[in-house]
Amino acid sequence: MRSVLWFIATFLGLVMTVVTAARGDMLAMGATAAVAAFCLYMSYRSTAMPMRAIRSGMDLLRSQDFASRLRKVGQKDADEVVELYNTVIANMKAERLRNLEQDSFLSKVIEASPMGIAVCGFDGNIESSNPAFKAMESAELRDVLDSLPDEGQCVIRTGGTQVLRCSRRFFMDRGFRRPFFLVERLTDEIVRAETAIFHKIVRTIGHEVNNTLGGVVSVLETLAVMHSDDEVVCDALGSCRSSCVNLGNFVKGYSDVVKLPEPELQPVDLNEFVSECLPFLRNMCPAGIEVVTDIAEGAPTVAADAMLLQRVLVNAVKNSCESIGDAGGHITIRTSRGCLEVIDDGPGIPADVSGLIFTPFFSTKRADRGLGLMLVADILRKHRASFSLATGDDGLTRLSIKFAKL
């Protein structure tokens, strides 16, 4: 505004100078010319200095320098520009700092989150992920995520050991939809629910069956004594009694799982442990199935309950034997740093049942009813060990156990 006033004053001074010159009044002409020159200087100063301040501010913005400030020069118009610039820059710096702090906080939350988070690029491919997602990542999980529609959600089992809830969401980035995935581990919740139901069913069945079988077996034994002279009747009663006893042992097997003790963790050398169990494991395998070991040198000691771990190894080898069948094959027990593997070259696990192999009451072998693998899973969970059972691309089926650090 002042620059306009000084410009008008300059114009008027020039007009007066011309008028006085036309009259021949040299003294008045000199005075008006001096006034016009002064007004021209003030007009230049009121315009040039603010423009210089604006140019300096533009240079600082161009170089992304939010720390520097402009200095007042004593000219009111220029000082107003300087003050406005400094205020804007201070607000921008505060907003930028707030955004950086929020980004840092969100990054730390995402990194520490137990939920897997993976952010995709605009093409839908995963560009970054947090440690929780990387720990759960697998080819099976990737296939599921690729097939999820926008805002879709599903629950899957991977390798029979993990239950995961997968979600596909999006956020806006520069005006475009950018997808990301959330993977939540439901394993502990599902296992607790399944275990609670299993224990309740077993306790109910055990109570009713044992009470009933006790009386039935007693009556059958009495009848066998009464008809001891009739061989046909005695054989029939003996067969019934054996069936009752077998049913009782069957229920007892499930009851033993319910009564599984808490592990007493002690340092266990995996190499020594496998060597001590090897003779028994070889004797329990039928002819045609060879048990071999692949012992890693210097395999570290792990925290485990040797008695319960032996039950895991026995059931794992037994399961491998049943999988191989009469065709014969090999079972390899391998140790590595904190890991134990039982590998067999049987026909493998069908893809349609791979997610159910550790669930209660599920089995592809009617005689076993899934008790062995259910016992294995329960013991390993009590050890807080991560484990999986799957058939790889090489056709070998692996039970892989990774123990928590000692």
Least confident of 46-55, 83-92, 260-269: 46-55
Q: Average pLDDT of 158-178?
A: 81
Range among 19-23, 44-48, 105-109, 352-356 with highest mean pLDDT value:
105-109
- Taking the C-alpha atoms of residue 7 and residue 58, their distance in angstroms, rounded to an integer, is 26
- Taking the C-alpha atoms of residue 88 and residue 61, their distance in angstroms, rounded to an integer, is 11
Q: What fold does the segment set 113-185 form as a domain?
A: Beta-Lactamase (3.30.450)
The residue among 289, 386, 299 whose CA lies nearest residue 343 is 289
Q: For the chain, give the percent of residues with pLDDT over 70.
A: 68
Residue predicted with more confidence, 328 or 361: 328
Query: Could you give the C-alpha distances from 204 to 260, 363, 364, in angstroms and in order?
Result: 17, 21, 25
The residue among 193, 139, 144 whose CA lies nearest residue 164 is 144
**Does residue 369 register a pLDDT over 60?**
no
pLDDT, residue 368, reads 45
- Taking the C-alpha atoms of residue 359 and residue 368, their distance in angstroms, rounded to an integer, is 13
Beta strands in 41-125 (DSSP E): 116-120
- Taking the C-alpha atoms of residue 302 and residue 34, their distance in angstroms, rounded to an integer, is 98
Question: Is 283 exposed, middle or buried (CB count within 10 Å of its CB: 0-12, 13-18, 19+)?
Answer: exposed
Q: What fold does the segment set 266-402 form as a domain?
A: Heat Shock Protein 90 (3.30.565)
Q: Return the amino acid letter for 211.
A: N
Least confident of 156-160, 259-263, 287-291, 398-402: 156-160
- The helix (H) or strand (E) run that includes residue 121 is none
- Taking the C-alpha atoms of residue 221 and residue 120, their distance in angstroms, rounded to an integer, is 71
Residue predicted with more confidence, 229 or 403: 403
Q: Which two tokens stand for residue 75?
A: 């000219």
